[in-house]
A and B are shown apart, each in its own frame.
Chain A
């Protein structure tokens, strides 16, 4: 997984590239946790299954990340890995492995308020797939 942060005046955008479309979704989830905390300090003691639907690939990406973000800011769960189990343009199931937030070991780097639909995209590139999404921070 590789991602880069792109400039957005008020918010923060990420661009994720991968060989397969599944890599883009899994990479986006990990990028989100990487922005939140130092993922090397996160242990894989629990798992959460996230299943979402969308109208197209971009909508699916936003809806997926909304659920992933809720695992953190609704339930205090931090993930270290993400495995995509099932994927179609309209449906996605993935498994997050990680652990509940432990303030003694996990420093939280920033607040991500929400995942926006603004300019969200998932598209094919010469090398594979590329996804873009903007977070409200």
Chain B
């Protein structure tokens, strides 16, 4: 790559040297192939823009699935000093705590091969999906506030899961410091009837089979074996989270002069971490994060019920266990190594996943030797990867890695490219049963609209940010 903006550091890293108002360099984890594919994408410019923000430490990072977002790039990681730094709602994204959870079962592919069509159909019937989908729960104002404070534990307390599910959820499915009084009436209104809904767009639920094991020891620790049936859920905080982001972003745009720095893009609006506005956002964001965890917990419960009913199995024989739940749109205060010392930082991961190393106290005991499970969903019908967090990610990228395949084609281009084609039929030819609420969603989400998942994962694996444990192949998928 001869682009003057970049300086190649090694096989997997490119630097954007500081220029203009950049306080730190930009650092891209990518490959020659992926960098070429970026072409006209403005992602690298956005990586440089983020480097302008006050209190940013070390570098504005981009993962190999990085693509052009609004304000921050998607696939971006940025950490800020707690005294000098800022928090930016645009650095988290509208879908606060959008994330993935992966469940394993005791089933093998041959157990369900003939029932796959029934399973996909009944999941599609039982799990509310699509634009503005409403759930079967209508929360009272009081109950909703409990959800915002408790996260996954609220769902478990009401019978939608088990204590064991909490053990294997990032942060046990609850972010501390959530105060529902910092969430607007509008956001609360939007959240009241959407708990337990998948949503639309790139959100999905997929039945998958473990097709390859790369690291036998880690796979065993994670409870994975070849041929095993798993379910992956990708969803977030629904309308409540979008509204929280929208509310605080508008406030910060209005008061951005208070931080006394010119921003290259209004969407980067932010507030000092020491300010009331910054603290209030983090408090409201924690509420939305907790809503998302409760949402995925409920979606998992609906999945368990559907599998049990459709296959006529009891919970013990089905053995649907939560392997792990990770968020990939979040800002968190974490203790991380920086120039040889452990410091507390505010880490923004927008389209990036936490990847803590073996031995980290945040990991459940069963995974402490293997490292944190990292779930990387692919595009529709591609399946996914399970990786493990590493020491290298911990010291180099604020304990972060990629989050998925990353778009290369805009939605309009994807819709045009799929005109006249039957996407469900194409997917069926690849051995994947797909059901969706909207035809348009399928058109926008065609596989060629995304970067090659294998290329993205190869970069984080080879760069040492997380290592391959297993590959899963898609069998059936429901989309909003």
A binding-site residues for B, Cβ under 8 Å: 5, 7-12, 55, 58-59, 63, 66, 70, 73-74, 76, 108-111, 113-120, 134, 136-137
Contacts and interface: CB of A to CB of B under 8 A. Distances in A.
Nearest to A55: B254
Most buried by B among A73, A108, A136: A136
A109 B440 contact: yes
A73 B132 contact: yes
Contacts of B440: 109-110
Contact of B94 (A59, A108, A113): A113
A68 B94 CA distance: 17
A109 B443 CA distance: 12
A5 B70 CA distance: 16
Contact of A117 (B68, B132, B186, B266): B266
Contact of B410 (A9, A59, A114, A118): A9
**Secondary structure at chain A's binding surface: helix, strand, loop or mixed?**
mixed
A60 B246 CA distance: 15
A63 B250 contact: yes
A68 to B, nearest CB: 13
Contact of B67 (A9, A59, A63, A120): A9
28 contacts: A7-B410, A7-B413, A9-B41, A9-B407, A10-B407, A11-B69, A11-B70, A12-B411, A55-B253, A58-B266, A66-B246, A70-B186, A74-B186, A74-B243, A76-B132, A108-B130, A110-B200, A113-B201, A114-B245, A115-B246, A116-B90, A117-B253, A117-B265, A117-B267, A117-B269, A119-B265, A136-B94, A137-B201
B352 to A, nearest CB: 14
A116 B265 CA distance: 11
A34 to B, nearest CB: 14
A12 to B, nearest CB: 6
Interface string B398-439: 000000000111111100000000000000000000000010
Nearest to A63: B250
A118 B265 contact: yes
Contacts of A76: 132
A136 B239 CA distance: 12
B190 interface: yes
B417 to A, nearest CB: 12
